[in-house]
Amino acid sequence: MTTGILFLWSCASKEEDTIFGIEHVVIIGVDGMSPNGIQNTNTPMLDTMIQNGAATMHARSVLPSSSSPNWASMIMGADTEQHGVTSNGWEKHDHELPPVVATKNGTFPTIFTLFHDQQPEAHVGAIYDWDGFGRLFEKEDVDFDIDGDHEDNTTKEAVNYIKEHTPKFTFVHLDHVDHAGHSMAHGSPEYYQSVEKADSLIAEIVNAAKAAGIFEKTLFIVSADHGGLGYGHGGESLAEMEIPFILYGAGIKKGYKIEETVYQYDNAPTVAYAMGLQTPQAWIGRPVKGAFIGNEKPNLTYKRKEQIVQPKILPDAGYYEPAGGIFKEDSVAVVMQKPNGIGEIRYVLGSEVPNMENSIAYQDTFYLKQTSVLKAGIFQEGKLASTIAEANFRIVPISKEDPVKYQVFYGEKMEKLPDFSTLKSVKEGFITEFSHKQVMTEDVQQDQVALVMESYLEIVEEGTYGFFTNSDDGSKLYVDGKLVVDNDGDHGVLERGAGIELTTGRHLIRVEFFNGGGGYHLDVKFQGANMPKQIIPANLLYREK
pLDDT at 309: 86
Greatest mean pLDDT range, 12-21, 70-79, 294-303, 410-419? 70-79
532 and 373 Cβ atoms separated by less than 8 Å: yes
Scored b (16 or more CB within 10 A) or e, 301-333 reads eeeeeeebebbebeeebebbbbbbbbbeeeebe
284 and 79 Cβ atoms separated by less than 8 Å: yes
pLDDT at 434: 96
Averaged pLDDT of the chain: 93
134, with CB counted inside 10 A (0-12, 13-18, 19+), is: middle
Mean pLDDT value across residues 185-192: 93
pLDDT at 307: 76
Asked whether residue 160 carries a pLDDT value surpassing 50, the answer given is: yes
Mean pLDDT value across residues 497-512: 97
pLDDT category of residue 129 using cuts at 50, 70 and 90: very high
pLDDT category of residue 425 using cuts at 50, 70 and 90: very high
CA distances (Å), origin 377, targets 305, 381, 525: 16, 13, 22
pLDDT category of residue 441 using cuts at 50, 70 and 90: confident
Residue-wise pLDDT tens digits, 358-409: 999 999 999 999 999 999 999 999 999 998 999 999 999 999 999 999 999 9
Rounded to 5°, angle at Cα 485 from 482 and 491: 140
pLDDT category of residue 254 using cuts at 50, 70 and 90: very high
pLDDT at 157: 98
Domain pair 2-291 / 404-542, same fold: no
Asked whether residue 199 carries a pLDDT value surpassing 50, the answer given is: yes
Residue-wise pLDDT tens digits, 458-499: 999 999 999 999 998 899 999 999 999 999 998 888 899 999
Mean pLDDT value across residues 7-26: 60
pLDDT category of residue 456 using cuts at 50, 70 and 90: very high
Asked whether residue 15 carries a pLDDT value surpassing 80, the answer given is: no
pLDDT category of residue 19 using cuts at 50, 70 and 90: low
Residue 470: phi, psi to the nearest 5?
-120, 105
Mean pLDDT value across residues 297-302: 94
Residue-wise pLDDT tens digits, 165-180: 999 999 999 999 999 9
CA distances (Å), origin 91, targets 69, 258, 265, 391, 484: 11, 35, 20, 38, 25
Asked whether residue 503 carries a pLDDT value surpassing 50, the answer given is: yes
pLDDT category of residue 341 using cuts at 50, 70 and 90: confident
Mean pLDDT value across residues 257-268: 97
pLDDT at 226: 97
Distance, CA of 313 to CA of 316 (rounded, Å): 6
User: What is the residue extent of each domain of the chain?
Assistant: 2-291, 312-395, 404-542
Asked whether residue 12 carries a pLDDT value surpassing 70, the answer given is: no
pLDDT at 18: 42
pLDDT at 265: 98
Domain 404-542, architecture per CATH: Sandwich (2.60)
pLDDT cut 90: percent of the chain above it: 84
pLDDT category of residue 290 using cuts at 50, 70 and 90: very high
Quick count: other Cβ atoms within 10 Å of Cβ 40? Answer: 13
Domain 2-291, architecture per CATH: 3-Layer(aba) Sandwich (3.40)
Residue-wise pLDDT tens digits, 48-74: 999 999 999 999 999 999 999 999 999
